[in-house]
Amino acid sequence: MTSTFLYGGQVHANGIRQHYLRYGGAEGVQGERPSVIVIPGITSPAATWGFVAERIGTHFDTYVLDVRGRGLSDAGDELDYSLEQQALDVIALAQALELKRWVLVGHSMGGRIAVRAASKKPGGLASVVAVDPPVSGPHRRPYPAKLDWYVDSIRQARRGMDAEQMRHFCPNWTFEQLQLRAQWLHTCKESAIVQSFSDFGRDDIFADLPQVDVPLLLMTAERGDVVRAEDVAEWQAISPASRHVRVPGAGHMIPWDNEAGFYAAFGTFLGTALV
């Protein structure tokens, strides 16, 4: 398949330098459709989502964001790594890129960011896809992963590690997936990851759902424990217009576990199928 990758770029938005990767472009049918902003999870720099952006880029003008504290975006000790600021980053990015109509596709932490951003009703936002977002929060069960897993792997990556050493943390991934994570994980600032992880227990995205007034797709993992059936029921009780689809045979890292199922789960929600 011919690559849809165009370039990496940076903008100054919401007071920080934000780095992104662009795929697809705005020529032809892509220019007639909303742009797509992909927001990765807690320790996933933009480069690790390139394989997904390649596919989305065949249909849409696509931007993959390095969330603050990850990849090539700002990662200063003085930065606020809260969900609120991350959501404002995304809105400011869309404005800086002068996007007229745009869609948010957020995975895990990125899904929480997308919901919070949508709750602010930014101009131009057309729809949101929240992919297996943590539903932990005050008086809710904790996020099932452990902070030490993230911190230990980041510290090892900072010293230098290869794909086989990364396999200790992600035993079911392919060599290519492990190598890419080993290459980029060191760019995740530890303090940013610690605050984001802690905020999984402090921010309740269910409280944001009533303010979301654009079409919303909740995509969850059949084999994951991040979003359970009872969580889906509560989500849809609060946001009855939202759609839900479970991806078979996939854990939390859905496109890594079942890439074809991940694309199929979108259906025509974005306006055209990705398969």
Instruction: Check residue 234 and give its pLDDT.
Output: 98
pTM: predicted TM-score of the whole model, two decimal places? 0.98
Handedness of CA 175, 190, 202, 240 (dihedral sign): negative
Nearest to 91 by CA among 125, 40, 64, 43: 125
Residue 153 lies in a domain: no
Banded model confidence at residue 1, pLDDT cuts 50, 70, 90: low
pLDDT digits (tens, 9 = 90+) for 87-106: 999 999 999 999 999 999 99
Nearest to 90 by CA among 58, 128, 54: 128
Residue 12 lies in a domain: yes
Q: What's 255's domain CATH number?
A: 3.40.50.1820
C-beta separation of 247 from 220 below 8 A: yes
Q: Print the SS3 string covering the chain.
A: CCCCEEEEEEEEECCEEEEEEEECCCCCHHHHCCEEEEECCCCCCHHHHHHHHHHHCCCCCEEEECCCCCCCCCCCCCCCCCHHHHHHHHHHHHHHCCCCCEEEEEECHHHHHHHHHHHCCCCCEEEEEEECCCCCCCCCCCCCCCHHHHHHHHHHHHHCCCHHHHCCCCCCCCHHHHHHHHHHHHHCCHHHHHHHHHHCCCCCHHHCHHHCCCCEEEEEECCCCCCCHHHHHHHHHHCCCCEEEEECCCCCCHHHHCHHHHHHHCCCCCCCCCC
Instruction: Check residue 103 and give its pLDDT.
Output: 98
Residue 134 lies in a domain: yes
Mean of pLDDT over the chain: 97
Instruction: Check residue 54 and give its pLDDT.
Output: 97
Residue 235 lies in a domain: yes
Sequence-distant (6+) residues with CB within 8 A of 141 are none
Mean pLDDT of the region 203-216: 98
Domain that holds residue 64: 5-141+202-265
pLDDT tops 70 at residue 266: yes
Residue 240 lies in a domain: yes
pLDDT digits (tens, 9 = 90+) for 52-64: 999 999 999 999 9
**Count of the separate structural domains present in the chain:** 1
C-beta separation of 269 from 215 below 8 A: yes
pLDDT digits (tens, 9 = 90+) for 165-175: 999 999 999 99
Banded model confidence at residue 9, pLDDT cuts 50, 70, 90: very high
Question: What angle do the packed helices 190-199 and 147-159 form, to 10 degrees?
Answer: 170
pLDDT tops 90 at residue 218: yes
Residue 31 lies in a domain: yes
Q: What are phi and psi of 125, to 5 degrees?
A: -70, 125
Residue 26 lies in a domain: yes
Mean pLDDT of the region 179-187: 98
CA distance linking residue 243 with residue 272, whole number of Å: 16
pLDDT digits (tens, 9 = 90+) for 18-47: 999 999 999 999 999 999 999 999 999 999
